[in-house]
């Protein structure tokens, strides 16, 4: 976990030690709400988290929180109010107005709660798809573009008889059209039409919702998050209490619910029933990917890069950490396909980390090495 900057508001000096942790880089202490209000109003004070002790001065509290929410410097600041929940009505009002991100018990343990705090920071740092799309400007190196045109043109010319045969095979197996076209998000969040040979039944996208339970990237050990098993066994909260979704639950349970909500950014289904007989063959041999040579020649993609994502997946990758993958060109083949192709054990986190790794290190020379590594990967039996 990364270290964070923290401000405490309304705590006595002897109480502040409770906020010290290996995860806390800097701790700023404001004994009163008025001092904190004056400081944030006059100064640039960028912090990751503000811990605010609830007090009876409702208007001053509301004014301070509104200040935090409206100052550009603090747009990503997480505000956590601490109380014994005796003031449930006021606490709920602040929470519902989006003035606070969460409500903790006064005696919470910052180390135990750090997972929850980090997730709140990530949510604050999240941007809308349109915001991120407008902020991106990625230029593909001219050497890489020349490499892409030369390679794509050569392969297209050499494989033209195969492309004709596969087109006929798809039409015989499942009818026209032989191309599957969908919108994908590539370099710098650019949206484009993405081409593949159709390997599934017609209108297969409409069947996806019914198959999400078979998603390999979702945890196979997922359990109900309605109640905490540990709390039931202990007969008391197993971790500090937080206020979430209109109820008070333990921090561990809340973090689990957050993980459940975020689960399944990528979707991969083993033995997908929508795939046709001929479609299974062209998938296992990766022949279905060949029409993406058109995308390369158009400039939508590169030969090597991070896989372009469907819109619903790209919209979930707008935090600063995961948006990094879009700094790289979109590609037909890439690092994670070579490193983990056919591996059932590959997690969603591993795939995203490999995408980021490619974005930080791509070059024409590295692309050539990945192309040579792609050949043995294509011979693996399991499709991805």
Residues 188 and 316 in one domain: yes
Q: How far apart are alpha carbons 112 and 254 in whole angstroms?
A: 12
First to last CA, the chain: 31
Domain count, the chain: 2
Co-location of 38 and 152 in the same domain: no
Residues 154 and 74 in one domain: no
Closest residue by Cα to residue 184 from 195, 174, 168: 195
Q: Which of 125, 154, 182 is the last residue of a domain?
A: 125
Q: List Cβ neighbours of 130 (8 Å cut-off, separation of 6 or more).
A: none
The predicted-structure confidence for 5-64, as pLDDT tens digits, reads as follows: 899 999 988 888 889 988 898 899 999 988 898 888 887 777 889 999 988 788 889 889
For residues 90 and 104, give the distance between their C-alpha atoms in angstroms, rounded to a whole number: 14
Tell me the pLDDT tens digit for each residue of 247-300: 677 666 666 665 555 444 445 555 666 788 888 888 888 888 899 999 999 999
Which residues, given as ranges, of the chain have pLDDT below 50? 207, 213-217, 219-224, 262-266, 381-384
Counts of helices then strands in the chain (DSSP H, E): 17, 12
* Rounded Cα gap, residues 75 and 116, in angstroms: 19
Are 176 and 312 found together in one domain?
A: yes
Residues 71 and 189 in one domain: no
Buried b (16+ CB within 10 A) or exposed e, 328-362: bbbbbbbbbbbbbbeeeebebeebbbbbbbbbeeb
Which 8-state DSSP code applies to residue 332?
Answer: E
Domain that holds residue 95: 4-125
Tell me the average pLDDT of the chain.
78
| Nearest partner of 298 among 143, 375, 186, judged by Cα | 186
126 secondary structure, DSSP code? -
Domain endpoint, select from 125, 146, 164: 125
């Amino acid at each position: 976990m990364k270290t964070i900057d923290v401000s405490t508001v309304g705590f006595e000096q002897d109480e502040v030690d409770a906020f010290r942790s290996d995860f806390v880089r800097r701790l700023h202490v404001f004994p009163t709400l008025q001092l904190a209000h004056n400081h944030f109003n006059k100064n640039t004070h960028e912090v990751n988290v503000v811990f605010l002790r609830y007090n009876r001065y409702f208007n001053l509290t509301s004014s301070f929180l509104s200040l935090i929410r409206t100052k550009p410097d603090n747009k990503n600041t997480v505000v956590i109010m601490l109380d014994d929940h005796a003031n449930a009505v006021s606490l709920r009002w602040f929470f519902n107005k989006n003035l606070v991100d969460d409500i903790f018990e006064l005696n919470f343990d910052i180390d135990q709660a750090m997972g929850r705090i980090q997730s709140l920071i990530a949510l604050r740092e999240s941007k809308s798809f349109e915001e991120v799309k407008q902020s991106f400007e990625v230029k593909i190196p001219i050497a890489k573009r020349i490499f892409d045109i030369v390679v794509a043109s050569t392969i297209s010319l050499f494989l033209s008889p195969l492309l004709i045969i596969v087109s006929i095979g798809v039409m015989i197996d499942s009818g026209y059209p032989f191309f599957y076209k969908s919108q994908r998000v590539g370099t710098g969040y650019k949206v484009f039409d993405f081409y593949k040979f159709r390997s599934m039944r017609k209108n297969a996208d409409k069947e996806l919702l019914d198959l999400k339970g078979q998603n390999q990237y979702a945890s196979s050990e997922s359990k109900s998050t309605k109640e905490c098993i540990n709390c039931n066994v202990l007969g008391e909260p197993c971790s500090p209490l937080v206020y979430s979704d209109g109820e008070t639950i333990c921090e561990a349970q809340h973090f689990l619910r957050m993980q459940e909500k975020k689960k399944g950014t990528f979707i991969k289904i083993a033995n997908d029933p929508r795939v046709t007989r001929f479609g299974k063959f062209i998938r296992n041999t990766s022949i279905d990917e060949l029409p993406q040579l058109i995308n390369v020649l158009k400039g939508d993609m590169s030969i090597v890069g991070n896989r372009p994502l469907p819109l619903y997946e790209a919209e979930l990758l707008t935090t600063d950490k995961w948006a990094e993958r879009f700094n790289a060109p979109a590609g037909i083949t890439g690092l994670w396909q070579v490193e983990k192709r056919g591996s059932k054990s590959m997690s969603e986190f591993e795939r995203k980390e490999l995408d980021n790794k490619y974005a930080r290190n791509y070059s024409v020379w590295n692309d050539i090495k990945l192309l040579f590594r792609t050949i043995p990967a294509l011979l693996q039996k399991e499709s991805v």
